Structure 1
Amino acid sequence: MKTSILKIAAMVMFMVTLGCEKSEDDNMMNNLSAAQITELKGIAASGTWTIAYYFDTDKEETAHFNGYTFTFNADGSLVATNGTTTVNGTWSVTDSDSSNDDSPDDSDVDFNIAFASPSDFADLTDDWDIVEYTAVRIELIDISGGNGGTDKLVFEKN
């Protein structure tokens, strides 16, 4: 009897441990509701943002965007300016079922950014997965389908 109770306790502990492990997908907001998507769009479109952190596969490149503010306009246009230079792009938040998503998880919502040039800004072009967002911070991640590298992009409100 004592052995059976110990075996059951060990199995329960094992199952609890497995249940507590988080995968990369668990750290992302893969299944935002329609209300959350609307909320995120509203947050992004309110005010100006800076890039607080940008990691491109194997190195941190935040400094490439120092001095730039980003405005996510409600019409889908995205404007980055540093006072003398303006770079135009587009943005959207979409369910991956309706976007060109390279993520293996087809149930996630993407924060899409597109810049044609210059090259530093073109590097931001992607269908980013949403890790988390608040009224003053939007944290995004992309795991490349080609080389498996991980990019991370964090916007903070000014």
Structure 2
Amino acid sequence: MSCNKDDDNNQQQNTTVEQTINTVQSGTWKVTYFFDSDQDETDHFTGYAFTFNENGSLAAIKGSTTITGTWSVTDSNSSDDDGGSSGADFNIFFASPPDFEDLSDDWDIISVSNSKIELTDVSGGNGGTDFLTFERI
């Protein structure tokens, strides 16, 4: 019997999904880089501490300000709406304010380590490429 390549890919993606979920839930994170299509907008998130909770809720806290959203990590083979790459998607959603709405997307994962998560997305509207990096505080 030969090994099915698809089985290997699915196993690897499941590991990436689980690894990413476990990593992001442990600790507090900050945005160290956010490039939105044509400009660096990292400064919009200076001072915010991001916490990714087990129940799928997401909190960005700066002083007495708390902005809430949701997050998940999914296997994009079944729901990849950007037509881009296969692999895991890091999904972030904020309803407001506008700066945080810009983070709402199904991000493709570039890399995950215990201290850094690098994400990218090719925008459907203007075709620009966005980048988002979280680093553990």
Please indicate the TM-score interval, normalised by the length of the shorter structure.
0.7 to 0.9
- 2:76 is matched with which residue? 96
Query: In structure 2, what is the Cα distance between the partners aligned to 1:142 and 1:41?
Result: 19
Deviation at 1:103, TM superposition (A): 3.1
**Equivalent pairs: percent with the same residue?**
55
- Counterpart residue type for residue 36 of structure 2: D
Listed as ranges, the gaps of 5+ residues in structure 2 are: 1-10
- Counterpart residue type for residue 102 of structure 2: D
- Counterpart residue type for residue 43 of structure 1: T
Structure whose residues are more often strand by fraction: 2
Task: Pick from 28, 44, 52 the counterpart of residue 72 of structure 1.
Answer: 52
- 2:4 is matched with which residue? none
- 2:132 is matched with which residue? 153
> Does the alignment pair 1:52 with 2:55?
no
Deviation at 1:100, TM superposition (A): 5.6
- Counterpart residue type for residue 107 of structure 2: W
Deviation at 1:32, TM superposition (A): 4.4
Aligned pairs for 1:20-59 (under 5 A) are 32-59=12-39
- 2:113 is matched with which residue? 134
Listed as ranges, the gaps of 5+ residues in structure 1 are: 1-30
Contact kept in structure 2, 1:40 and 1:133, CA below 8 Å: yes
What TM-score, normalized by structure 2, do the two folds share?
A: 0.87
Residue 44 of structure 2 aligns to a residue whose secondary structure is: helix
Query: In structure 1, what is the Cα distance between the partners aligned to 2:105 and 2:83?
Result: 11
Residue 64 of structure 2 aligns to a residue whose secondary structure is: coil
Query: In structure 2, what is the Cα distance between the partners aligned to 1:101 and 1:64?
Result: 27
Deviation at 1:99, TM superposition (A): 3.2
Larger radius of gyration: 1
- 1:87 is matched with which residue? 67
Query: In structure 2, what is the Cα distance between the partners aligned to 1:81 and 1:95?
Result: 28
Query: In structure 2, what is the Cα distance between the partners aligned to 1:92 and 1:98?
Result: 14
What TM-score, normalized by structure 1, do the two folds share?
A: 0.76
CA RMSD, Structure 1 to Structure 2 (Å): 1.4
For these two proteins, the number of residue pairs brought into alignment is 127
Runs (4+) off by over 3 Å = 97-100
